[in-house]
């Protein structure tokens, strides 16, 4: 019997991506879509679902959510806490897209808002499968990583013990990473034929990268004039002589969603997939690591489903797209 799934926050980009993935998943069935208001129809919000998947979206209520085996909380930070506090008392597994359970309380409150659920914060598992797979298997509450931290940590962590001094991360993302809400930065006349850094050094994802890596990281994100995709360039100093590509190949030799490249990566090759492509090289003691992911998928929705597969005891590649959009 398929596991029943609820999606809270179905109207956002990551919610729509979840629907696309789960419609082709052999073990999960979307039973209910929820949003903060309810009363809408998913095929009216996203006409691409017309004749394929048509469903009314209900107003999110705890009592209705708990009737499912699994819930994806594709909601903003702070909002997720209100749901998790109630849902942790029920027989349901939770995959949270927000930042609410990714960080220790001190770091969360410095970069976000006051945390109101410290009790469950300690129970959450950070959902980067390549590094926390065994913990993910037994958790009830999964904190799905941010898109920038996912792409950065997968390139950075294999080299952690070889790095000395500060790390510099040059990150670039497509506009979909900013969500559906329009602002001056994301409107067409600003981003078209343009690129710029935003919130350098102090971006919220910087603390997630620092906390999970334990390194001194200087993080600078940039907005690209593309819809989806993310590229990371990492620069660091090495304290010993290594072969970067061999280290990557050894670390990720059994990982189904990591591809080690022998030349710099590109975004098109990962768009529409859960892959993280990684390249690395050095010049003397200077290290360069280059990664690419789909920010909406490996940075959010496919990674969430991979984590749900692990939590439910399924093969983690089940139902996950692995062919990039061509052309």
DSSP codes joined into one string, 206-217: HHHHHHHH-S-E
Average pLDDT over residues 315-322: 98
Q: Tens digits of per-residue pLDDT, 257-296? A: 999 999 999 999 999 999 999 999 999 999 999 999 999 9
Confidence of residue 181 (pLDDT cuts 50, 70, 90): confident
Separation CA 77–CA 253 (nearest Å): 35
Alpha-helical runs (H) found in the chain: 13-22, 42-45, 62-65, 79-87, 105-111, 118-121, 129-138, 147-156, 188-191, 204-213, 244-251, 301-312
Query: Residue 209 has what pLDDT?
Result: 98
- Catalytic residue chosen out of the listed positions 94, 142, 147, 207: 147
Q: Which residues contact 86 (CB under 8 A, 6 or more apart)?
A: 62
- Report strand pairing: 57-59 vs 28-35: parallel
Reading the block at residue 181, the tokens are 């809400």
Which candidate, 323, 314, 254, 325, places its Cα nearest to that of 25? Answer: 314
| 3-class DSSP assignment, residue 276 | strand
Q: Tens digits of per-residue pLDDT, 24-51? A: 999 999 999 999 999 999 999 999 999 9
Domains of the chain as residue ranges with CATH: 3-145+299-312 (3.40.50.720), 148-293 (3.30.360.10)
Q: Is the peptide bond before 327 cis (omega within 30 degrees of 0)?
A: yes
Query: Residue 182 has what pLDDT?
Result: 84
Reading the block at residue 321, the tokens are 């797209």
Cα separation values, 77 from 15, 69, 102, 120, 166, Å: 15, 23, 11, 15, 29
- Whether 147 is catalytic: yes
Residue 180 has pLDDT above 90, yes or no: no
Q: Which residues contact 138 (CB under 8 A, 6 or more apart)?
A: none
Q: Tens digits of per-residue pLDDT, 187-199? A: 999 999 999 999 9
DSSP E strands, 36-92:
57-59, 70-73
Using the structure block, give the residue that is written with the tokens 């107003």.
59
CA R_g for the chain: 19
Q: Tens digits of per-residue pLDDT, 56-82? A: 999 999 999 999 999 999 999 999 999
């Amino acid at each position: 019997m398929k596991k029943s799934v609820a999606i809270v926050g179905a109207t956002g980009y990551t919610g729509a991506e979840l629907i696309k993935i789960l419609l082709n998943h052999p073990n999960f069935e979307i039973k209910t879509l929820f949003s903060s208001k309810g009363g809408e129809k998913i095929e009216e919000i996203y006409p691409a679902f017309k004749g394929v998947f048509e469903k009314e979206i209900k107003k999110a209520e705890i009592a209705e959510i708990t009737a499912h085996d699994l819930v994806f909380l594709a909601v903003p930070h702070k909002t997720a806490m209100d749901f998790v506090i109630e849902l942790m008392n029920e027989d349901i597994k939770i995959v949270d897209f927000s930042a609410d359970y990714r960080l220790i309380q001190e770091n969360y409150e410095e970069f976000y808002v006051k945390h109101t659920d410290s009790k469950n914060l300690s129970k959450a598992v950070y959902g980067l499968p390549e590094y926390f797979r065994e913990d993910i298997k037994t958790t009830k509450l999964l904190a799905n990583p941010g898109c920038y931290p996912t792409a950065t940590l997968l390139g950075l962590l294999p080299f952690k013990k070889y790095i000395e001094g500060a790390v510099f991360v040059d990150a670039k993302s497509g506009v979909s990473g900013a969500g559906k809400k329009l602002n001056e930065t994301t409107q067409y006349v600003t981003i078209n034929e343009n690129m710029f850094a935003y919130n350098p050094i102090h971006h919220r994802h910087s603390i997630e990268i620092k906390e999970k890596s334990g390194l001194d990281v200087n993080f600078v994100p940039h907005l690209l004039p593309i819809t989806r995709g993310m590229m990371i360039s990492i620069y660091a100093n090495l304290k010993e002589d290594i072969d970067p590509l061999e280290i990557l190949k050894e670390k990720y030799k059994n990982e189904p969603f990591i591809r080690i490249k022998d030349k710099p990566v590109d975004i098109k090759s990962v768009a529409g997939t859960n892959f993280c492509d990684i390249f690395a090289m050095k010049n003397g003691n200077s290290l360069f690591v280059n990664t690419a992911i789909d920010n909406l998928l490996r940075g959010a929705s496919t990674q969430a489903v991979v984590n749900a597969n692990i939590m439910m005891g399924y093969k983690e590649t089940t139902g996950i797209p692995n062919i990039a959009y061509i052309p």
